[in-house]
Copies of this chain bind each other. A is one copy, B any other.
Amino acid sequence: MENITIKVLASKLNLSATTISKALQDSHEISEPTKQRVRALAAALNYTPNTYARSLRTRKSETIAVVLPEITDHFFALVINGIETVAREKGYHVLIYLTHEDYNREKEILDYIKKGRIDGLLISVTKNTIATNHIAAMEQENIPVIFFDRVMEQMQLPMVVTNDFESCYQATQHLLTCGCKKISVCTISTNLEISKQRILGYQKAMTDNNIPLEETHVLFCDDDTQCYDQLYNTLKAKNRPDGLLAIVDKLTLPIYLACEKLNLKIPQDLQVISFSNNPTAGILNPSLTTISQPAFLIGQTAAILLLNSLDPKNNKVQQDITTIPSELIIRNSTGYKKL
């Protein structure tokens, strides 16, 4: 099959390539009859513009990128769905890039996409991201950046988050109301701003109830392969917690499995709350009390902010923080009032 280019069209119509190009872009410099001839031939020969060539000219790709840690987590999957709803309505394509919590990979991805492929970036950083040069470099290329969920607070960029501090305060308060005396919090990161806020919320609720904080009550389950063993050992110890607040969904499974192995009943022996958007939370054994994040709405909001900023009619995005509250959904893994 002959490759139909602007040159081919030009030759067949005995016009210059520039005229063809302008006609296809509906330029006022070209007469209507000429435009019609060009369009008719382009359609007949099934001409499709080369995206690279067009992007080189316009420097606009009508494409945004989403960079995030993983998608086996329902939270991120729902965020993407929210982003795509907005992007599709506005005629934008969405490229999804996964960092798999690898900071070097995140740098490589940003380095790759900043070279002209995208108009804007939505990012949730890896749990190991500390430096921000790679994100600042996007700004230098005039690619607007908006954070969602996992933000770099020190950067003066717009961010869409949930009320991490308050929701963990409320969850801890709920465990205390249910009679828990020894509440621990489990995290996969102490570096992420959201993790810090969640742990601070837990700590504030504890101190507001005159319960002294103990360092060992923050379980740091960084390594997926060791996570189960850590939880198992913690729950096997004589002085084990009677309440657990998991600040990330992936900790739910090892907690339930460790309890099963140790023959600990939830909620009688251990009351459990986890951050989760997994729809199976309600049919777990027992059903799980969750902090349910507004994942879809976070995605929608971040996308609306970004696409608005790309519209030349609008001003630059305000460098502020949009907070959309999470919801504590009480189910059977808590609520057991000890005598």
Contact = CB atoms under 8 A, between A and B. Distances in A.
A167 B215 CA distance: 49
A283 interface: yes
A96 interface: yes
A260 B84 CA distance: 34
A80 interface: yes
A49 B109 CA distance: 15
B98 A80 contact: yes
B282 A283 contact: no
A287 B280 CA distance: 12
Contacts of A253: 279-280, 282-283
Interface residues of A, number: 49
A257 B55 CA distance: 50
A169 interface: no
A1 B140 contact: yes
Nearest to A65: B95
A100 to B, nearest CB: 7
Contacts of A77: 71-72, 77
A110 B243 CA distance: 50
A61 to B, nearest CB: 9
A51 B112 CA distance: 8
A93 B80 contact: no
A256 interface: yes
Given A280-B280, A285-B286, 9 more contacts: A50-B116, A52-B52, A72-B77, A77-B77, A81-B98, A84-B98, A84-B100, A96-B97, A257-B283
